[in-house]
Amino acid sequence: MAEHVYPPVIKTAKGVFRALNIKFRLEGTEQIPRTGGAVLVSNHVSYLDFIFAGLAVHPAGRLARFMAKKEIFDNRIAGPLMRGMHHIPVDREAGASSYAAALKALKGGEIVGVFAEATISRSFTVKEIKSGAVRMAVASKTPLVPIAIWGPQRLWTKGRKRRLFQRNVPVTILIGEPMHPKRGDDYEAVTAELHRRMSELLEKAQREYPDVPKANERWWQPAHLGGTAPTPEEAEKLDLKEAEDRKAARAARELDGGS
């Protein structure tokens, strides 16, 4: 597969990180398979997570193909980059094609990145995850590699203004031990174990994070650590309200188009 876009994008991103003095803590890179397919499963705290999750596999000499919502590919700027890096568009109304594309990539020896929570977690804890990542790993006979990212929410996350050029922000990326689910396993039980491992990695990243938020910055800290981010229960209500508003807006557009 020709790689004309991905390497220069990585080089540019690293240059920006150096200029902003982003302070990385990257641990567990030995857990990334040097060859063959793998499902990389990350938590989701910001709009920049695919960049940082991609860095997790780079020391192993690998590139990750992320599953991302179709709307990003429709963007006139981001779309050509996403396609050039061979990421995988996900249409939530027709998910079979994206699942098939991910399986093809995995069987072809690629690392496929998945944000199993589907959307950014407003509570900055690991939301409920579906069994899709486990099923992909089983169907492709590839390992599941859990990772946790912490810090990018300070740059750009849901409900907050972008602060992309903020300097000296620490970013933690922790990579966990691979899991090897197989046919006949209880997929829901494996998914629960994956959730537990991701949560454990995230809590470690949060508790060992070098920065403590100032009084007016406590929004980026989860409630259970004294921050003002919504609790998981509050976040779920906000997500439901957002989904209802999105559905109503879509229905209104369809009605206008049909009139």
DSSP state of 231: P
The string of pLDDT tens digits covering residues 114-162 is 999 999 999 999 999 999 999 999 999 999 999 999 999 999 999 999 9
Classify burial at 8, counting beta carbons within 10 Å of its beta carbon; exposed 0-12, middle 13-18, buried 19 or more.
exposed
- What are the pLDDT digits (tens) for 15-39? 999 999 999 999 999 999 999 999 9
Predicted TM-score (pTM) of the model is 0.94
For the chain, the helix, strand and coil percentages under 3-state DSSP, each to the nearest 5: 45, 15, 40
Please give the structure tokens belonging to residue 106. Answer: 């995995």
List all residues 6 or more positions away from 14 whose beta carbon is below 8 Å from its beta carbon: none
| Token pair 């409630």: residue | 223
3-state secondary structure of 112: strand
DSSP state of 97: H
Those residues of the chain that have pLDDT short of 50 are none
Other residues' Cβ atoms within 10 Å of the Cβ of residue 156: 17
C-alpha R_g of the chain: 18
Q: Token pair for residue 101?
A: 């594309």
